[in-house]
Structure 1
Amino acid sequence: MQLTFTKLDAKGRISIPAHVRNSVGIRNGDRVAFVTKDSKEITILPSISDSTATLTAIMSDHHKGMTRIINILNSHRISVISMESFTLERNEKFECNFVVDLEGYSDIDALKKEIKDGSIEDIEITSS
């Protein structure tokens, strides 16, 4: 891990230093995604396509729910770009967030229906 600092300009833009762009393969004109978290943390994901979406699931069984979602996404050849999970209520309710690439997949309602089961209370998929 390398820590690099840059400044935000008056228009809200940041410059990504050349050594950082080179290390993650970002080139002029590439799309990137900014993932924000409640802890005031921003993650920048390189080379995100127009088919990127966020999938948020609320579940009661963390292991079973995560395994189910990942297996279903894999069965549809949906790539997981990033994922995180955290506890909403200790040992009772969890939230899992995925950034996925839906390229070639269009039936979001069918995907939500397939994912949702007894351990997954709610599922939301939002396209970028």
Structure 2
Amino acid sequence: MVKIEELVRVDSKGRITIPLTIREALDIREGMFVVVVGDRDKKEIVITPLPVSAKLVRLMMRIEDRPGVLAEITKYLADYGADIVMTKCVVIKRGDIAECEIIVDVSKTDIKQPSLIADKLKMLESVKNIEAVWFTG
């Protein structure tokens, strides 16, 4: 495993610049999306670039709060060929309802409009409400 390490300074707005050597090595280009994950326990940030070809859809949904619902939804997305990039779920009322935001890459599917995913997921009994839009950052 080859690692490239660079030291950068955080500016007054909390921004950092990814050094050129790292951008070139990982083929990070202007306009690309990256996933940023902060680990509070380890006090570290992991930045993962997504392919230039990524077509991201943001799914915002209300779902039943019961065991297995998220697995049912993610299995459906995987079976459809959508690559799950990020998931955030919060229980609103324990044993009743939860809200989830899921961002998926549909570049390797035949999906032309985000509403196609929403229409399919609406058929699942556990999905109570869903909105799907292109993710623009």
Q: Same fold (TM over 0.5)?
A: yes
- Give the corresponding residue for 1:31: 32
How much is the aligned-residue C-alpha RMSD, in angstroms? 3.5
- Give the corresponding residue for 2:59: 55
Pair 68,30 (structure 1): closer, same or farther in 2 beyond 3 Å? same
Alignment: residue pair count: 117
- Give the corresponding residue for 1:112: 118
- Secondary structure, aligned partner of 1:125: strand
**2:62–2:128: 8 Å Cα contact kept in structure 1?**
yes
Flag as ranges the 4+ runs of structure 1 deviating above 4 A.
none
Structure 2, unpaired ranges of 5+: 1-6, 37-45
Query: What does residue range 3-82 of structure 1 map to in structure 2 within 5 Å?
Result: 6-8=9-11, 14-17=16-19, 21=22, 25=26, 27-29=28-30, 31-33=32-34, 45-47=48-50, 49-82=53-86
Structure 1, unpaired ranges of 5+: 36-42
**2:85–2:103: 8 Å Cα contact kept in structure 1?**
yes
- In 2, the alpha carbon distance for the partners of 1:102 and 1:26 equals 21
Please report how far the alpha carbon of residue 44 of structure 1 lies from its aligned counterpart in structure 2 after TM superposition: 5.5
- In 1, the alpha carbon distance for the partners of 2:74 and 2:54 equals 21
Please report how far the alpha carbon of residue 59 of structure 1 lies from its aligned counterpart in structure 2 after TM superposition: 0.9
Q: Does 1:123 align with 2:130?
A: yes
**2:58–2:132: 8 Å Cα contact kept in structure 1?**
yes
- Give the corresponding residue for 1:40: none
- In 2, the alpha carbon distance for the partners of 1:33 and 1:76 equals 23
Identity between Structure 1 and Structure 2 (%):
19
Q: Does 1:86 align with 2:104?
A: no
Q: Which amino acid aligns with 1:95?
A: E
